[in-house]
C-alpha cells in the first residue's frame, strides 16, 4: 500500500509561509498604529496644557507671542501625527485584509488535501478489496 503523497505540498507550504508573513506584517502594523495613537494623544495633551498656560500668561508681555508660536508648532506636529495615524490605520487594514485572504486560500488548500487523502484511502481500499476478490476467485477455481 503506497503512502499518501500530496502533490501540491509545496504550494501548501508556500501559502502557510505567506500567511505567517502577513500575520507578522499585521502585528507590526498594529504596533505602529498603537505608537501613532499614543503620539497623537501625547501631542493633544501638550496642546491643551500650552493653551491653559497661554490663558494664564495674558498679562505678561512677550510670553504670549512665544507661547502662540509654540502652540502653532504643536498644531503642525499634531496634524502630521494625525496623518501618520491615518496612514497606519490604512496599512493595518490592508494587512488585515491580506491576512484574511491568505487564511481563506490556505483553508481551501487544506480542504483539498483532506479530500485527496480520503480519495487515496478509498482507492487503496478498493484496490485491496479487488485483490481479495481475485484471490477468492482463484481459490474457488482451484477447488472446483
CA 62 to chain centre: 53
- Domain carrying residue 72: 9-143
pLDDT in tens, 67-111: 778 888 988 999 999 999 999 999 999 999 999 999 999 999 999
pLDDT value for 138: 86
What pLDDT score does 68 carry?
A: 79
The domain that contains 63 carries what CATH number?
1.10.287
60: DSSP letter: S
DSSP secondary structure code for residue 83 in this structure: H
| Domain assignment present for 1 | no
| Residue 4 located in a structural domain | no
Specify if 33 maps to a domain. yes
Q: What is the pLDDT of residue 18?
A: 96
Residue 140 to residues 127, 135, 143: CA-CA distances in angstroms? 20, 9, 5
**Rounded to whole angstroms, how far apart are CA atoms 24 and 36?**
18
Q: Does 3 fall in a domain?
A: no
Tally of CA atoms within 13 A in the half-sphere of 69 that contains its CB: 4
Q: Cell numbers of 7, please?
A: 502533490
Banded model confidence at residue 114, pLDDT cuts 50, 70, 90 = very high
In a domain, 39, yes or no: yes
Measured CA angle at 57 (ends 55, 63), to 5 deg: 125
Position 68 in a domain:
yes
Position 140 scores a pLDDT of: 84
As for how many domains the chain has, the answer is: 1
pLDDT tens digits, residue range 48-66?
Answer: 888 887 777 666 556 667 7
Per-residue pLDDT at 127: 94
Mean pLDDT of the chain: 90
The separation between the first and the last C-alpha atoms of the chain, rounded to the nearest angstrom, is: 31
2 in a domain, yes or no?
A: no
Cell of 82: 494625525
- The reply to whether 108 falls in a domain is yes
Check pLDDT > 70 for residue 131.
Answer: yes
pLDDT digits (tens, 9 = 90+) for 24-36: 999 999 999 999 9
Cell numbers linked to 95: 494587512
Amino acid at each position: 500500500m503506497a503512502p499518501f503523497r500530496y502533490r501540491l505540498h509545496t504550494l501548501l507550504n508556500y501559502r502557510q509561509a505567506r500567511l505567517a508573513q502577513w500575520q507578522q506584517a499585521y502585528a507590526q502594523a498594529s504596533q505602529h498604529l498603537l505608537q501613532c495613537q499614543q503620539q497623537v494623544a501625547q501631542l493633544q495633551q501638550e496642546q491643551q496644557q500650552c493653551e491653559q498656560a497661554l490663558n494664564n500668561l495674558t498679562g505678561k508681555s512677550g510670553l504670549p507671542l512665544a507661547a502662540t508660536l509654540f502652540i502653532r508648532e504643536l498644531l503642525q506636529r499634531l496634524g502630521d501625527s494625525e496623518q501618520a495615524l491615518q496612514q497606519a490605520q490604512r496599512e493595518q487594514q490592508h494587512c488585515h485584509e491580506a491576512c484574511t485572504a491568505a487564511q481563506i486560500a490556505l483553508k481551501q488548500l487544506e480542504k483539498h488535501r483532506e479530500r485527496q487523502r480520503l480519495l487515496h484511502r478509498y482507492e487503496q481500499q478498493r484496490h485491496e478489496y479487488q485483490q481479495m476478490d481475485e484471490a477468492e476467485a482463484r481459490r474457488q477455481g482451484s477447488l472446483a
